[in-house]
Structure 1
């Protein structure tokens, strides 16, 4: 009977690695391609060719079985994680399709406005503000309307714009910017505005990133910045 030495086992392991790698089409990643079948084949070969006068020690045999079991568990876990990832992408795609055409309230400074009807937005006030205003700018950067919100407590303050300028003239529909400011402890401070927008399309996120909403005004925003989803 042929005896397999440590050097022979090592050579056989390398041979298995190369064979597995060739099947995968990449000879540079042989070590990482050694699967449970190759591991088991190596273990059986060692048992078949062991020296009958000096058989393999029981503890070493059990240790190899434990390694085989651990390898199989890791491969099964990897398969399960891949399946979960596929389910997550499917769920994300379904969520994305339901958002197209919907109105959302987002953390933004501008939005596309239909001036034939009122538009409602909100301002985040971090602390009491004695003078709170929202200025509306047209596409050319000119101020067309100043909305006075007066004194505001800390929290969220809503505002409504009827699509008219300060003189009462109805403006054309289009993209408008909204800049809110408040007097906090006597210092004029810029405030965050939340504006309504329509989702025209959705860009799916890659691994580890959220999807991006493409809005009617030509901008895009991360899903995490959406405050509210409407109809």
Structure 2
């Protein structure tokens, strides 16, 4: 009399045969879950041929493979959750930047009705004398500020918005230039000024993009936010 359940020396083949018998209800996934796996494993062990039992090494390997696959699936799910959370946090962080000022490499400042125009001059090495010059939209020199000797690094400045006579200049954009002197040699030095942050965007691999009058710049490229 033939046996209704055919046996095989391959544990994996018999397990696949058992998997094909699992019925799924309408609308449910037919993927093999951990519960299905152990149910099939129990059935396989109960139907195995006593004279040709499943190989222990094959059984352990199959269980290990399934456990690893389940672990990777769970890990991917956790990463998706983390990515969603990080995106939400980035959006929240970005929303708080609008209206603040970003220190960007620029040689222009926007003078308001009141307050100082601030920025930073970058000296790669110490200078014996440092001079900051301010010109208006027509190119006329309106103010020269002697900042004396300065060490290497970022040198902060604050222009009060007045001309040489101490009179307040009108609102608008002014151009700055910095000259450093060492051993009688003069050289132009780079300047960074504060720009108003008008809006922000979240752009995938580029992260948070800050939009100012000077244009768009990545948040990671901004030296300071005030």
TM-score, normalised to structure 2, is 0.70
Aligned pair in 2 of structure 1 residues 140, 81: CA closer, same or farther (>3 Å)?
Answer: farther
Name the counterpart of 1:212. Answer: 209
Query: Quick one: distance in 1 between partners of 2:207 and 2:189?
Result: 26
How many residues in Structure 1 have an aligned counterpart in Structure 2?
209
Query: Quick one: distance in 2 between partners of 1:193 and 1:120?
Result: 11
Aligned pair in 2 of structure 1 residues 139, 93: CA closer, same or farther (>3 Å)?
Answer: farther
Query: Quick one: distance in 2 between partners of 1:113 and 1:197?
Result: 11
Query: Quick one: distance in 2 between partners of 1:181 and 1:190?
Result: 5
CA RMSD of superposed structures (Å): 3.9
Name the counterpart of 2:96. Answer: 98
**Larger helix share, 1 or 2:** 1
Query: Quick one: distance in 1 between partners of 2:183 and 2:68?
Result: 63
Give the conservation status (yes or no) of the 8 Å contact 2:9–2:54: no
> What is the deviation of 1:123?
1.4
Residue number among 105, 108, 111 corresponding to 2:106 in the alignment: 108
Deviations 1:64-112 (A, max 9, x none): 1111111111111111111111111111111111111123333433343
Query: Quick one: distance in 1 between partners of 2:211 and 2:202?
Result: 11
TM-score, normalised to structure 1, is 0.69
> What is the deviation of 1:60?
1.1
Aligned pair in 2 of structure 1 residues 190, 65: CA closer, same or farther (>3 Å)?
Answer: farther
Residue number among 70, 73, 97 corresponding to 2:71 in the alignment: 73
Deviations 1:37-83 (A, max 9, x none): 39x659938x7498624332111111111111111111111111111
Partner-residue secondary structure (3-state), 2:53: coil
Query: Quick one: distance in 2 between partners of 1:151 and 1:73?
Result: 63
Answer yes or no: is 1:2 the counterpart of 2:2. Answer: no
Q: Unaligned regions of 5+ residues in structure 1, if any?
A: 17-22, 24-33
Deviations 1:183-230 (A, max 9, x none): 3566544433231221111111314x3312112x24222222333333
Aligned pair in 2 of structure 1 residues 134, 5: CA closer, same or farther (>3 Å)?
Answer: farther
Q: Unaligned regions of 5+ residues in structure 2, if any?
A: 21-26
